[in-house]
Structure 1
Amino acid sequence: MDPAKPSQEILRTLTDEHVLRALMRHRLLTRAELSTETGISKPTAGESVRRLTEAGLVVDTGQRTPGGRGKGRVGSYYALAPGIGTALAVSIAPEGVVAEHIDAYGDLMARVEVEVGRPARPDDVAAALARAVDAACSTARAGGNAGVLGPAGTFSAVAEQGSGGVGPVASYPGGAAGSAGKSGPGSGGDAVSGSGGDRAAGWGGEGVPGSGGALVAGSGGGRAAGWGGDGVPGFGGALVAGSGGGRAAGWGGEGVPGSGGARAVGTDVVRARLAVVSAADPVDRHSGRLVQLPDAPFLLGEIDPVAVLSGRVDGPVHVDNDVNWAAQAERRANPLDDFAYVYLDEGLGCAIVSDGEVRRGHHGLAGEVAHLITVGPGGRAMPLIEVFGELGLRRAGGGTAIDVDRLLAERPREVVTAVGGLVAALATLMDPETVVIGGRWGTALIDEIRRETSQLPRAVHVRAASVDDEPSLSGARADALRRLQELIVGR
């Protein structure tokens, strides 16, 4: 008997998924290029593009391949639709809250930082979380902003580097949106503080300062309609920062003021389809609430990021501990299936990765090593967190947060011995291939820690973390992009 054949509906769904993922990887493809990239026949790829265009997931950008007059047929370039969806990646840490708004390609649309005072109180952290996400959603647009919301409510937008370079910082009070951004290939890139500067029209497009390609920060100005198209200030390409203005609908064409593409920058909100949160505290794996444990160095209570964000995003909110996210970022950079990630900074933490999966435990509290018994000063057995109290290495103002600057200045032998006891316990309990050391003082003392652990009865490889630029946020951001793309593919 012949095996059952997949239905036409299943085949169409799989074809559409391949086409969407190809556009996620390459951004701009013709039907012929989609056929080559996916291994699907040209007619089948063309039918998929038609279905996805009708569904509002893919658009004809208006950009064409060279052709005609003996050069072959002209091909149209397709891309993901602008409104296909976005995601939030959020970090809650002692320094404050960071909210990043990303699109389906993983490009940064907005980044906002909100400071949190010390000691951090749950109500203050929840309010900072709400402010950061609200600002990131209200300032998100193609090109990206980065900024800081301080106590006075000021917003600072920083130009991101395009091929034309980076301009100065542009700042305006109250969180106004629209100053800097990425330039298109081969042109533009400067943002002038407080007044504006040149910006390229898009991929391969010509931007004319003051007409198609100028973006004036704080007061408004023209912006090109899109990929390769001309925009006219006040018509299809106008974008007024902080007060709003018309924006061309689609790519490559002239828009009509107030029709199709008009939006008010600074008042319009781009709602994300989901949020992924990294928290510098234990997280209950079932509810997503932050959990207060004895001697916690950060929060003095519990907050519920899911409750704070549920009305601010259109989909699920995923919350996990910051060290777990850092471990996932490390695994992407250096694929390992069995390792421990030990974080040594103001706080202490550990992520356990076994068979390629982060192990969280029944409540989500696996890896909370602050109270693991180790060797303290004078050879006494004590919880790891108490070693720093015994040595006078806690931050001023009470609490258990470690004074990193003082520790690095003194580099006490007792601390290295205590970490050696932690590594010995990990080697015994989980048999890791490697123990990765992260955090400011952990990586700074990596040579001393290696020497200490080389004497253990069960030797284990110890190395410094390779991802040192916001590893927790990096892990959360990658997960947010993965989940967003899965939502898009699943429609």
Structure 2
Amino acid sequence: MTPEKPSLDLLRRLTDRHVVGAVVDHGRQTRAELASTTGLSKPTVADSVRRLEAAGVLADTGERSSGPGRAGLYYDLAPGTGTALAVAIAPEGVVAEVLDVRGAIVGRGTAQVSRPARPATAARALERAARSAVEAGRGAGAGPVLLSVVSAADPVDRATGRLVHLPDAPFLVGALDPAAVLSDLVEGPVVVGNDVNWSALAELAARAQQAPGGTADAAPRGTPDAGTGPDATPADFAYLYLGEGLGCAVVADGRVLEGAHGLAGEVAHVVVTGARGRATAFTEVFAELGLRHEGATAIDVDRLLDVVHGGGAGGERALRALAVAVSDVVSALVALTDPQEVVLGGSWGGDRAIVEAVRDRVGDAKRPAVVSPATVPGAALAGARARAVASLRSHLVERGAGPATA
């Protein structure tokens, strides 16, 4: 049977995607340069540019190429094509960034929150930081905010996108709906995800870039194309977040496993060996060591690091207790998920003394694991930022390609 030929509409859409992608990646170009960049013929590129101009995606910059031969018109993205909003909600505060399609930050806003934060308090901080970022973007001539990606230091219900309150929550007490808070500032969808999951995806993308032949946009959204086989970038690892709160993301085949309700990786209540040698919940180890903020379940990171690096019997005892508890969690992750590696991230998880102590402890286990510190600073926001830019680019390409016809 002869395969059906692709329709003219489909071919035009594919061509427009290539042309828009080339401008996004390489900046302003003439039609001749676009033909060279995309490998398409000059007449095909000329037709695509006309369509994209009419759709308001590309615009003549008014500049002309110089040199021998006929001068070419330079085309770039049309002014005001749209931006994305990346947000991180964490105990340290709320950070909001307005990004253009090339990933440049064109507006930024911040707001402080208390510990623990009630939903109304967190909502006000989110709205304040986001509005400040959007207004800064408008002042810089940026286009409308078309979509948003939010990283939150709490579990996120997969069905609703709302933050979920769990017992002993170190940060947010109660539910919060970021999409509703941002509805007046964002024209399109708001994607909300747990901060540890975004951190794991940022780590995955960084590893893909560092692999032989890796690129800057390798697997930024947790797609399963990070590779397989003995020479591929590890796409199976557990990201253990150790900060004011405790969390874990399991990455399998390049994707984060979220669980039926978005609660996969909630390790705070995994049973470990406590500081007194008895079985206890992971989160209670820090209460036993006196390493919590007063009146809260949040871990006092500054005090923890001061104690660990302070030397003396107290520091050694604390470091040993932390290493035992963390290694118990690592052993549970190895038993259940069989990762190639366990990555320690968060504000104290990547501390050299912590990593080495955990490695020593895990090395004696029946199933030892490779333990490494995280490599991406500000990983939660970095992951949300990468997803926001990738989504904005896809939106722009689809808009330029136009609606499919029957």
Q: Contact (CA 8 Å) 2:82, 2:143: kept in 1 or not?
A: no
Q: Give distance in 1, aligned partners of 2:259 and 2:84.
A: 27
1:34 is aligned to 34
Residue type at the aligned position of 1:407: L
Q: Give distance in 2, aligned partners of 1:392 and 1:331.
A: 34
Q: CA deviation at 1:64?
A: 1.2
Are residues 1:488 and 2:387 paired? no
Are residues 1:314 and 2:314 paired? no
Q: Give distance in 1, aligned partners of 2:268 and 2:76.
A: 49
Are residues 1:275 and 2:148 paired? yes
1:364 is aligned to 262
1:466 is aligned to 375
Q: Contact (CA 8 Å) 2:19, 2:48: kept in 1 or not?
A: yes
Q: Contact (CA 8 Å) 1:57, 1:80: kept in 2 or not?
A: yes
**1:118-160 Cα shifts (integer Å, max 9, x gaps):** 332211110111111112111204xxxxxxxxxxxxxxxxxxx
1:380 is aligned to 278
Give the secondary-structure state (helix, strand or coil) at the position aligned to 2:145. coil
Give the secondary-structure state (helix, strand or coil) at the position aligned to 2:375. coil
**What is the CA RMSD across the aligned residues, in angstroms?**
1.4
2:291 is aligned to 393
**1:174-204 Cα shifts (integer Å, max 9, x gaps):** xxx56xxxxxxxxxxxxxxxxxxxxxxxxxx
2:302 is aligned to 405
* Aligned ranges 1:180-219 → 2 under 5 Å: none
2:216 is aligned to none
Q: Contact (CA 8 Å) 1:138, 1:270: kept in 2 or not?
A: no
Residue type at the aligned position of 2:40: I
Are residues 1:298 and 2:207 paired? no
Q: Contact (CA 8 Å) 2:115, 2:296: kept in 1 or not?
A: no
Give the secondary-structure state (helix, strand or coil) at the position aligned to 2:204. helix
Q: Contact (CA 8 Å) 1:339, 1:434: kept in 2 or not?
A: yes
Q: Contact (CA 8 Å) 2:80, 2:144: kept in 1 or not?
A: no
With normalisation by structure 2, the TM-score equals 0.87
Sequence identity (%): 54
1:341 is aligned to 239
With normalisation by structure 1, the TM-score equals 0.72
Residue type at the aligned position of 1:75: G
Candidates 98, 103, 106, aligned match of 2:100 = 103
- Runs (4+) off by over 2 Å: none
1:154 is aligned to none
Q: Contact (CA 8 Å) 1:353, 1:359: kept in 2 or not?
A: yes
Residue type at the aligned position of 1:478: A
Q: Give distance in 2, aligned partners of 1:131 and 1:115.
A: 10
Q: Give distance in 2, aligned partners of 1:359 and 1:350.
A: 10
Q: CA deviation at 1:410?
A: 2.1
Are residues 1:440 and 2:347 paired? yes
Q: Give distance in 2, aligned partners of 1:85 and 1:40.
A: 27
Q: Give distance in 1, aligned partners of 2:195 and 2:179.
A: 16
Q: CA deviation at 1:110?
A: 0.4
Q: Give distance in 2, aligned partners of 1:30 and 1:383.
A: 62
* Aligned ranges 1:66-105 → 2 under 5 Å: 66-67=66-67, 71-105=68-102
Candidates 127, 131, 139, aligned match of 2:136 = 139
Q: CA deviation at 1:10?
A: 0.7
Q: CA deviation at 1:361?
A: 0.3
1:242 is aligned to none
Q: CA deviation at 1:486?
A: 1.0
1:145 is aligned to none
Instruction: Provide structure 1 residue ranges, at least 5 long, that are not aligned to the other structure.
Output: 142-176, 179-264
Q: Give distance in 1, aligned partners of 2:171 and 2:115.
A: 9
Q: CA deviation at 1:4?
A: 1.3
Give the secondary-structure state (helix, strand or coil) at the position aligned to 2:61. strand
1:19 is aligned to 19
1:450 is aligned to 359
1:62 is aligned to 62
1:9 is aligned to 9
Q: CA deviation at 1:409?
A: 2.2
Q: CA deviation at 1:475?
A: 0.2
Q: Contact (CA 8 Å) 1:137, 1:270: kept in 2 or not?
A: no
Residue type at the aligned position of 1:278: S
Q: Contact (CA 8 Å) 2:108, 2:134: kept in 1 or not?
A: no
Q: Give distance in 2, aligned partners of 1:449 and 1:82.
A: 52
Q: Give distance in 2, aligned partners of 1:297 and 1:318.
A: 23
Q: CA deviation at 1:270?
A: 4.9
Q: Give distance in 1, aligned partners of 2:23 and 2:337.
A: 41
Q: CA deviation at 1:425?
A: 0.2
Q: Give distance in 1, aligned partners of 2:365 and 2:261.
A: 31
1:415 is aligned to 322
Q: CA deviation at 1:406?
A: 1.8
CA change 1:74–1:271 in 2 (3 A) is closer
- The higher radius of gyration belongs to 1
Q: CA deviation at 1:34?
A: 0.7
Give the secondary-structure state (helix, strand or coil) at the position aligned to 1:307. helix
Q: Give distance in 2, aligned partners of 1:401 and 1:131.
A: 24
